[in-house]
Amino acid sequence: MADLAGPEVAVWQVLEARAHDLLKRHGYAEVRTPILEPTDLFARGLGDTTDVVQKEMYTFTDRGGRSLTLRPEGTASVIRHVAARGAEGLSARLYYLGPMFRSERPQAGRRRQFHQVGLERLGEPDPLADAEVIALQVDLLADWGLEGTRLLVNTRGTPEDRVAVSKGLQVALRPLAEALCEDCRRRIDTNPLRVLDCKRPACQEATRDVPSPVSWMSPESRVYFDTVVRALGAMGLDAEPTPRLVRGLDYYVHTVWEITHPGLGAQDAVAGGGRYLLPLEGKGIPGVGFAVGMERAVLALESAGRLPEPPRPPHVVFLAGLGQAAGLANLGLARDLRRSGLTVLAGDCHRSLKSQLKSADKASADWALIRGEDELARREVTLRRLRDGWQTTVPDDPDAVRNALVETNES
């Protein structure tokens, strides 16, 4: 887990502001769910046999003896939220930003507390909805300035397909068990699909000739997937069908996808998503959604030299005061100027003028307003334009100061 400070925070603020704007323009409303949930929500929602549930959740018992978990992702909480809203919730379009927690082995692009921008669009399966959500994710990354991404798409089929796929895969994988790693040997029985996306070269080599899971799926599921790929093509998106793309969460049905970036190294997925049927209160709740990893997006932008420039406030005024009485007078002037929308910084009135002006320079201020003993006695302030050192005196009155700032800016 890491602190976020300094210029990095400014970059995050730009990305977050653009995400809020873009997602709202697509008709999504923000939802903020708690970062703690009953453990059961994730265990049932994401699937008992997933790595996230088996190995990565921060789970503890609270003082009331309840098992709670720091959210490892956002989808399950959003579905819990909409399920409580009844029928109206079933057409919800919601987005979220915030920290997620997974106790994974840390490495470049992998944190134990990381942040996602995600969204969920509830509703019955429709390949066009899937394609639209994928396009929105691509557009969000493009809006952030990220180029050179790859869009990998695949299908998980329906829950019925999944039974057929698991059976077919188990038959194909059992004879290869000897050559597989320990995790994969266990997964043949618990989650055979995951064997296909094991990153270990020996496992990849051993399973090279195993048929694609799609070969066990129904014609309807294949048509669904083809429609998604065609819709993406019609929108000008270059989607790469990737039969071995599995994704680590069990709630997916039909379309799944990942967006990768070459600047990221081993953990190259900057974003992922899919259509799901989330089991909750005895029913399956259908939807489609995605999440972008903020840390990875920032890393990818950095590697491409495309980090956004935080906007500079248009007018920055620096108040320098010499001594306690000048400092006190500056407090009132600062409040008045800030209330009129200016960015006002103030120096430490117990330090020298030189040192205060150095701070003004460091803060890239446009003007300094200087109040020493003389100015105090004459009820004036000295206004200095910092770009060229030109200066004048102005009556100690917020309106007079504001007018003088406008005039000196234009002259």
Residues that bind ligand HAM (CB under 6 A): 73-75, 102, 104, 109-111, 114, 116, 118, 120, 248-249, 269-274, 276, 289-291, 293, 295-296
Closer residue to ligand HAM, CB minimum distance, 145 or 372: 145
Q: For residue 249, which of 95, 112, 57, 53 has the smallest C-alpha distance?
A: 53
Q: 113-122 and 93-101 as β-strands: parallel, antiparallel, unpaired?
A: antiparallel
CB of 228 vs ligand HAM, minimal distance in Å: 15
List the structure tokens of 274.
Answer: 């899919």
Q: For residue 116, which of 293, 364, 345, 300 has the smallest C-alpha distance?
A: 293
CB of 144 vs ligand HAM, minimal distance in Å: 13
CB of 271 vs ligand HAM, minimal distance in Å: 5
User: Under a CB-based contact definition with an 8 Å cutoff, are residues 32 and 16 in contact?
Assistant: no
Closer residue to ligand HAM, CB minimum distance, 138 or 404: 138
Q: 113-122 and 367-371 as β-strands: parallel, antiparallel, unpaired?
A: unpaired
Q: For residue 153, which of 247, 84, 63 has the smallest C-alpha distance?
A: 247
- H or E element at residue 376: helix 373-378
Closer residue to ligand HAM, CB minimum distance, 272 or 321: 272
CB of 293 vs ligand HAM, minimal distance in Å: 2
**Dist. CA 167–CA 161, nearest whole Å:** 10
User: Under a CB-based contact definition with an 8 Å cutoff, are residues 218 and 161 in contact?
Assistant: yes
**Dist. CA 9–CA 17, nearest whole Å:** 12
Give me the count of residues in the chain.
Answer: 411
CB of 265 vs ligand HAM, minimal distance in Å: 12
CB of 84 vs ligand HAM, minimal distance in Å: 18
User: Under a CB-based contact definition with an 8 Å cutoff, are residues 332 and 339 in contact?
Assistant: no
Q: What residue type is 392 in one-letter code?
A: T
Q: What are phi and psi of 49, to 5 degrees?
A: -95, 5
Closer residue to ligand HAM, CB minimum distance, 273 or 286: 273
CB of 154 vs ligand HAM, minimal distance in Å: 13
Closer residue to ligand HAM, CB minimum distance, 180 or 249: 249
CB of 230 vs ligand HAM, minimal distance in Å: 22
Closer residue to ligand HAM, CB minimum distance, 149 or 330: 149
Closer residue to ligand HAM, CB minimum distance, 224 or 276: 276
User: Under a CB-based contact definition with an 8 Å cutoff, are residues 269 and 246 in contact?
Assistant: no
Closer residue to ligand HAM, CB minimum distance, 144 or 276: 276
Q: For residue 92, which of 100, 102, 84 has the smallest C-alpha distance?
A: 84
Q: Strand, helix or coil at 407?
A: helix
CB of 376 vs ligand HAM, minimal distance in Å: 54
Q: For residue 20, which of 31, 9, 10, 11 has the smallest C-alpha distance?
A: 31
Residue nearest to ligand HAM (CB): 293
